[in-house]
């Protein structure tokens, strides 16, 4: 009975695929678990140390910081084997957050200083560290996976990877709900430890699957330069379409996310209470995504196809925008964000990642790096420009933000249709974008 249900939900996964995707799932669990714990702490700490009015500017600053980081990352793609990128990047961020842990406990620079000020560098370092980690390491992981599987296998196994990620994304916010008991300093130490685990899991994967295509892609250009990904991005309509599918949602999500956090800050006041509330939000959003990832992601993608899934998500987002516009409140925003975040993680993200399988190494690692890191943060910065412009009037932000969001949805649907149909043609012809 179980095997029959499993075949319906996930397709005919072989024993080897189950082990392979299982190990990738555990790796992603630690990446996303650490990120989601940081993500909850980031906002609470930034508002307490710097002030909530500076969140839009911090998002915009993160975009500027990502430009040199992506150039360095692209250069490392040429210099290092792909698994070694995890060793270098994860070690850097684990060490960074270990240092932040130390300064948070400092009587002058840390939490003991209760005066919020934009001059307090620690708050900016925390925010920018978390933002860049989420952009670079998550993009690196999916590039690694896309180079290791084919499309048919991905449709069966990506649901398991997303399932592992959602367990991590529930565990992280769950820890955050105990912020008053565990302490924010100790939670940052847990973040650092979680990041340190990732390189060891990658090392285990490489040893178990040494012939993985991601480690030895024959016949492709080498050392094409750190800006090759940017050149590819703007010369291939398919990649521009992926850019739209991957980033347009972020503009809308940033607007609604800011409304939720500001409303929560006004309602609860202290950093620990806001952290607990945002932790609850993370639990609900990722709980929905976990259920869908385990019982729906693989089934829906295989049953209805990638194009259908890519188009249905923006349609769902437009419905949520209209719902919040009609009835704005803290819990309306909470329910709306839970819905679209959950569907984003469990449906849109895996569909988007499958789009990279029929592409070259430079597209998977370099162009994807620009799309996921710079493109995503640029979209969030665009959303932050809107929230910053209307931050003094919640009513204006709701009205104009909703109108802009609905216009973005229209462009998003066009991009989704193009990318989905183009991907189907590439798979049918056995061609790749390079």
CATH assignment of the domain containing 26: 1.20.1250.20
pTM: 0.75
Tell me the residue length of the chain: 434
Separation CA 285–CA 131 (nearest Å) = 19
Do 23 and 205 contact (CB within 8 A), yes or no? yes
According to the model, what pLDDT value does residue 327 have? 79
Pair of tokens at residue 227: 């800006």
According to the model, what pLDDT value does residue 201 have? 94
Pair of tokens at residue 431: 């061609």
Q: Is 430 left (phi over 0), alpha (psi -120 to 50) or beta?
A: left
According to the model, what pLDDT value does residue 6 have? 54
392 lies in which domain range? 11-206+224-429
According to the model, what pLDDT value does residue 82 have? 79
Among candidate residues 61, 59, 96, 92, the one with its CA nearest the CA of residue 76: 92
How many domains are contained in the chain?
A: 1
212, part of any domain: no
217, part of any domain: no
Do 160 and 11 contact (CB within 8 A), yes or no? no
Separation CA 257–CA 219 (nearest Å) = 44
Coil, helix or strand at residue 226 = coil
4, part of any domain: no
User: What is the phi/psi pair of residue 218, to 5°?
Assistant: -80, 150
Alpha helices in 305-367 (DSSP H): 306-326, 330-343, 349-354, 361-362
Separation CA 286–CA 173 (nearest Å) = 9
Q: What is the pLDDT along the chain (434 residues), one digit of tens a residue?
A: 445 555 555 567 777 888 888 899 999 999 999 998 888 788 778 888 888 778 878 877 887 888 888 888 888 888 877 788 899 999 999 999 999 888 888 777 777 677 778 888 888 999 999 988 988 898 889 888 888 877 778 777 887 888 888 888 788 878 887 877 888 888 888 999 999 999 999 999 988 887 554 444 444 445 566 677 788 888 889 999 999 998 898 899 888 888 788 778 777 777 777 777 877 887 788 778 778 777 777 778 878 888 998 999 999 999 888 888 887 788 888 888 888 887 887 788 888 888 888 888 888 888 888 888 777 777 877 888 888 788 777 778 778 888 899 999 999 999 999 999 999 888 888 888 87
Coil, helix or strand at residue 359 = strand
Separation CA 25–CA 35 (nearest Å) = 15
Among candidate residues 353, 347, 337, 348, the one with its CA nearest the CA of residue 283: 337
According to the model, what pLDDT value does residue 31 have? 94
Do 255 and 386 contact (CB within 8 A), yes or no? yes
412, part of any domain: yes
Q: Is 225 left (phi over 0), alpha (psi -120 to 50) or beta?
A: left
28, part of any domain: yes
Coil, helix or strand at residue 160 = helix
CB neighbours of residue 345 within 10 Å: 23
According to the model, what pLDDT value does residue 213 have? 45
Q: Is the dihedral of CA 268, 274, 278, 284 positive or negative?
A: negative
347, part of any domain: yes
5, part of any domain: no
Pair of tokens at residue 380: 């969030």
29, part of any domain: yes
Q: CB under 8 Å to 133, separation ≥6 — which residues?
A: 35, 38, 93, 195
């Amino acid at each position: 009975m179980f095997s029959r249900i499993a075949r319906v939900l996930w397709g005919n996964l072989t024993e080897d695929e189950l082990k392979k995707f299982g190990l990738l799932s555990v790796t992603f669990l630690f990446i996303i678990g650490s990120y989601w714990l940081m993500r909850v702490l980031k906002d609470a700490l930034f508002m307490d140390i710097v002030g909530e009015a500076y969140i839009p500017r911090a998002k915009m600053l993160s975009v500027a910081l990502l430009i040199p980081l992506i150039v360095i990352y692209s250069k490392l793609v040429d210099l290092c084997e792909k698994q070694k990128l995890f060793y270098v990047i994860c070690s850097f961020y684990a060490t960074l957050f270990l240092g932040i842990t130390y300064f948070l406990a400092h009587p002058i620079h840390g939490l003991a200083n209760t005066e919020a000020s934009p001059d307090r560098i620690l708050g900016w370092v925390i925010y920018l560290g978390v933002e860049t980690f989420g952009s670079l390491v998550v993009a690196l992981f999916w590039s690694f996976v896309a180079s290791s599987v084919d499309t048919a296998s991905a449709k069966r196994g990506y649901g398991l990877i997303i399932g592992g990620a959602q367990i991590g994304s529930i565990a992280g916010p769950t820890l955050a709900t105990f912020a008053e008991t565990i302490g924010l300093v100790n939670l940052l130490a847990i973040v650092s430890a979680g990041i340190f685990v990732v390189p060891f899991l990658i090392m285990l994967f490489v040893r178990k699957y040494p012939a993985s295509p991601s480690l030895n892609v024959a016949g492709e250009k080498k050392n094409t330069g750190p800006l090759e990904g940017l050149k590819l991005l703007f010369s291939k309509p398919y990649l521009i379409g992926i850019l739209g599918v991957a980033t347009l949602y972020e503009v809308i999500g940033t607007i609604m996310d800011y409304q939720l956090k500001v409303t929560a800050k006004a309602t609860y006041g202290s950093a620990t209470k806001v952290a607990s509330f945002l932790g609850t939000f993370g639990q609900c959003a990722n709980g929905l995504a976990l259920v869908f990832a385990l019982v729906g992601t693989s089934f829906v993608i295989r049953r209805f196809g990638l194009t259908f899934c890519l188009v249905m998500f923006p349609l769902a987002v437009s419905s949520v925008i209209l719902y919040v516009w009609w009835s704005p409140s803290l819990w309306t925003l909470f329910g709306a964000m839970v819905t679209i975040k959950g569907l984003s993680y469990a449906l849109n993200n895996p569909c988007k990642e499958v789009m990279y399988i029929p592409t070259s190494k430079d597209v998977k690692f370099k162009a994807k790096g620009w799309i996921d890191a710079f493109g995503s943060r640029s979209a969030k910065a665009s959303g932050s420009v809107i929230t910053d412009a209307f931050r003094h009037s919640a009513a204006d932000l709701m009205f104009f933000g909703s109108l802009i969001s609905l216009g973005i949805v229209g462009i998003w649907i066009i991009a989704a249709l193009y990318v989905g149909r183009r991907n189907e043609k590439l798979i049918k012809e056995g061609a790749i974008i390079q």
